[in-house]
Amino acid sequence: MRVGEVLSLRLGDVTLDAGREALRVREPKNGAERTVVLGPTATPRSLRGLRALSRTMRGAPPHAILFRSNRGTAVSYDALHYQWAKLCAAAGLVDEAGAPRYTPHQLRHTRGSELIAQGQRIEIVQRVLGHRDIRSTLGYAELQEAQVRAALEQPDRR
């Protein structure tokens, strides 16, 4: 998901029924509402975290903001990036100037690239990433030399 999509999630956008775990994205960048499927094997830590968070929000209305600041307001984009920078610094993932080497958007890009590398159909990756135009998804299909070599060495695989 895009950072803005995560920050705008509401309690009612979360479905945690076993086998149906998903997030509803109401206002995505491309304007087309979508459902983000949360697979129990692909996102177990996220599911545990969402279940714990939803327990703390029992009794809250469905329109309650899911990710809130200490003051109970929506977490801002700037606040998220500030916390991201702190996490990167603590993990030693900063450049010489102390700036994070990676961005939250790069996590999204990595996931899209991983799905393609795992052999997922481009249409599935398009849906996961919420791209309206398949050409946007194709930008994530950066094949590594090792992938090309492996494919060429296994001519029977399609």
List the structure tokens of 116: 């393609």
The torsion angles phi and psi of 65, rounded to 5 degrees, stand at: -65, 130
The torsion angles phi and psi of 66, rounded to 5 degrees, stand at: -75, -50
Residues in the chain: 158
Quick: pLDDT tens for 126-153. 988 989 899 989 887 766 666 677 778 8
Distance from C-alpha of 9 to C-alpha of 21, rounded to nearest angstrom: 14
Quick: pLDDT tens for 21-60. 999 999 888 778 899 998 877 678 889 999 999 999 999 9
